[in-house]
A and B are shown apart, each in its own frame.
Chain A
Amino acid sequence: SAVISQKPSRDICQRGTSLTIQCQVDSQVTMMFWYRQQPGQSLTLIATANQGSEATYESGFVIDKFPISRPNLTFSTLTVSNMSPEDSSIYLCSGGDAGELFFGEGSRLTVL
């Protein structure tokens, strides 16, 4: 199994600022994903993080707002840009291969 570490685990941010969340996997994984969970809602896929190329975004999510990097098979970052209170959510990273998927502990973001 793989262990996924996310940083920060939580943060309080001011409106208009940006925050980068890091996701580190302790082994190489083919697929990495970023999800958002707004209060009281189910998880929603933001994008698939592709190693060495631009991320694949789901409908309703754009690169300018949620730029994603994936420089190698063990690491990815998600930036939440120009934050507003509506961005207050839990952001989750997951990664896996061949049917197995592992999740990070989540980053709880509050925007004031």
Chain B
Amino acid sequence: KNEVEQSPQNLTAQEGEFITINCSYSVGISALHWLQQHPGGGIVSLFMLSSGKKKHGRLIATINIQEKHSSLHITASHPRDSAVYICAPWRAGSYQLTFGKGTKLSVIP
């Protein structure tokens, strides 16, 4: 079993839809990153969470440490949100990230 499981693997949405991407992990963590990877390969860290919920614009990330689960939500999705979203737990006591396989999101106008 992978240490990090993301779902869905692929997601196609109509512009304006509410999007949810889920991440479950089995390792003990100190924090968790949600990353956005553009088609060219570059990565941007959207959020780093250690508890609760964070919001940035149309993006919301939540984490439940006890249940080892995190979600990324996108409200009013837009074609420019099309990218791969990667969940990356930060192992407790380490600077190393463990990466999920990513969710490929396509938002259609």
**A residues neighboring B (CB under 8 Å):** 9, 31, 33, 37, 41-45, 48, 90, 92, 94, 96, 99-106, 108
Contacts and interface: CB of A to CB of B under 8 A. Distances in A.
Interface of B: 30-31, 33, 35, 40-45, 48, 50, 86, 88, 90, 95-97, 99-102
Given A42-B99, A43-B86, A102 B42 contact: no
B97 A101 contact: yes
Contact of B42 (A44, A100, A105): A105
A82 B44 CA distance: 30
- Chain A interface, >50% SS class: strand
Contacts of B102: 42
Nearest to A102: B45
Contacts, number: 55
Contacts of B45: 100-103
Contacts of A103: 35, 42-45
A101 B33 contact: yes
B41 A37 contact: yes
B101 A31 contact: no
A48 B90 CA distance: 15
A47 B97 CA distance: 12
Closest 10 pairs (CB-CB, A-B): A105-B42, A106-B41, A103-B43, A90-B41, A43-B99, A42-B99, A42-B101, A31-B95, A106-B42, A108-B41
28 contacts: A33-B95, A41-B101, A42-B86, A42-B99, A42-B101, A42-B102, A43-B97, A44-B99, A45-B96, A45-B97, A48-B95, A48-B96, A92-B43, A99-B31, A99-B90, A100-B45, A100-B48, A101-B33, A101-B48, A101-B97, A104-B42, A105-B40, A105-B42, A105-B43, A106-B40, A106-B41, A106-B42, A106-B43
Quick one: which of A45, A92, A99, A102 has the most chain B CB within 10 A? Answer: A99
A27 B11 CA distance: 37
